[in-house]
Structure 1
Amino acid sequence: MGKEKGPKGKKITLKIAKNSIRISFDGGRRLDLSKMGITTFPKCILKLADVDELDLSRNMIKKIPSSIDKFQNLRWLDLHSNQLEDLPKSIGTLQSLFYLNVSNNKLTSKGLPEEITLLKNLHILNLGLNCLDSIPPSLGALKELREIGLFDNALTTIPNSLNNLPKLKKLNADRNPFPVPTNEEEQVDSIKRIETLYLVQEKDLCRSCLKTCQDKKDKQNKFRNVTPSPPRKPSFPLLITPNSSAKDNQEEWRIRGEQL
């Protein structure tokens, strides 16, 4: 009788891993094991823990071990599109990390460790396409955060602490079951909150872009004063709404991360 077969998945050897190291544009060493059909975290890569970037995206990995803390030089960690239900507490020791992408997994709020708030140098955090029904208010401690993806989860509210992040420029929380405002006053408050999180500041626009936006705004105001129009959903010309589909969103985030 033959042995019972376990889950199918490609076995990564140290030789395969070494051959998968690439040099990034800034001279860093990137270990790219994406789209390899991996089902378990390959222990052999712990011998390559001095790399600057680790890409394990688009696999079938269900668990990240606590030994991830061996990668102390890591600046970029991409785990999107796997089957992760939680992250290890030891991820909070990766103090050099500025990019963390765990979108399109099965992460629950319980599986998101409090230690993630220890990543003081984190610039980009993508938690989209998961099973999160709440976000810890302590994320407000990530003062270097520029972008955060919360799209396609089960969130009903966003912690006020995120409003106070000094460097946050983009927050994508599309397609969450936020409660619908019950009256006009609540609707206005909701709009103000969204503007605070999403609108581009004038100082970040070039002169031509600023003029274009102002011309559109003047044209809208003129039209509104001349011809009454039926009620319509508020529109914000300056609203930043990045594409949150798994395929297109990841490349955009990587490019932005490299530019920071």
Structure 2
Amino acid sequence: MAKGKKASEPKGRKVTLKMAKAALRLTVDGKRRLDLSNMAIASFPKCILQLGDLEELDLSRNLLRSLPDSIGRLTSLRALDLHSNRLESVPRAVGRLRALVTLDLSNNRLTSDPAALPPETGLLSALRCLNLGLNRLDAAPDFLPALRELRELGLYGNRLTSDPAAQLLRRLPKLQRVNMADNPLPPPSPSPPPSPDPVSELYLARRDDLCHACQRRCQRERQRLESRACGQHTPTHHKRALLFTGLITPNSAAQQEQEGLISTPSSVHPLTPGWDTCL
């Protein structure tokens, strides 16, 4: 190499029209698909513009840094796969690809700047699946609410500090899935624990089945509940109903006590000898 001459960057593999026609295939549902993935292509092969009836184009895993405006001539495209390239921007002409159903721009170098992701992308009225994961987005693109047919959206692996999913779900009625993984989102605020329901935690047990420590704890809890009921000026014959509301009583006499039909001093005693309550 001559002194002072800089080494030029690799130009990548050149794709000819003959190569493109040889790579053209028909999918099982009869669509014309061109797969030029993983071929070290550094510049968009303009020869494929002569294949104007292409419906699926795969240029993923190449070295593309930009796309020409002429890509807007591929108006029959339904699927465009550009993932794992070096794209820093998308041309405004992409808005002319109105038949697009799937657009994969993941694993590139795109930012939230409108110059990188132009608002014309919102003109893709048939788009159902958009993958913008593994880029450099710090905010969701403004054109997203215009994609009324969108079902799936990938925003994972970016630099988003706020979650737009709730807002997007309201504005995009057909949106079914949003992938927001691996973003520096703030942790969700913890919700307060639900307050315990004393009735739902009330059990009826035989005193003989409880250990000495449990008997003492149940007795203390019983005294606490009775003291609280007395502090609220609750009549004595209603104490039983407060303590055992909703329980199935072991006999009719105890049930009558709960209903206030019998008001005797024994109403504050256990329902049946040998039974006690435990929380």
TM over 0.5: yes
The 5 A counterparts of 1:39-54 are 39-54=42-57
**Contact 1:54-1:74 within 8 A present in 2 as well:** yes
Does the residue aligned with 1:100 lie in a helix, a strand or coil?
strand
Does the residue aligned with 1:46 lie in a helix, a strand or coil?
helix
Distance 2:66 2:122 in 1: 20
The 5 A counterparts of 1:110-259 are 110=113, 111-159=116-164, 160-164=166-170, 165-182=172-189, 184=191
Could you list the structure 1 runs, at least 4 aligned residues long, displaced by more than 2 angstroms after superposition.
1-6, 158-161, 180-185
Post-superposition Cα deviations, 1:120-160, rounded to whole Å, max 9, x if no partner, equal: 10010000010010113431121111101100000112335
**Contact 1:140-1:162 within 8 A present in 2 as well:** yes
Distance 2:135 2:141 in 1: 15
Greater CA drift, 36-45 or 174-183: 174-183
How many residues matched?
Answer: 187
Post-superposition Cα deviations, 1:64-108, rounded to whole Å, max 9, x if no partner, equal: 111110100000000000000110111011110000000011111
The partner residue of 2:80 within 74, 77, 83 is 77
TM-score (norm 2): 0.63
The partner residue of 1:60 within 63, 66, 69 is 63
**Contact 1:66-1:89 within 8 A present in 2 as well:** yes
Question: Which structure shows the higher helix fraction?
Answer: 1
Which has the higher Rg, Structure 1 or Structure 2?
Answer: 2
1:101 aligns with 2:104: yes
Q: One-letter code of the match for 2:149?
A: E
Q: Percent identity?
A: 53
**Contact 2:83-2:105 within 8 A present in 1 as well:** yes
Unaligned runs of 5+ in 2: 193-200, 202-279
Does the residue aligned with 1:184 lie in a helix, a strand or coil?
coil
Distance 2:135 2:56 in 1: 23
Distance 1:121 1:92 in 2: 11
Q: One-letter code of the match for 1:167?
A: K
Distance 1:170 1:28 in 2: 26
**Contact 2:119-2:142 within 8 A present in 1 as well:** no
Does the residue aligned with 1:125 lie in a helix, a strand or coil?
strand
Q: One-letter code of the match for 1:10?
A: R
CA shift, 1:169, in A, is: 1.3
CA shift, 1:6, in A, is: 4.1
**Contact 2:121-2:143 within 8 A present in 1 as well:** no
CA shift, 1:183, in A, is: 5.3
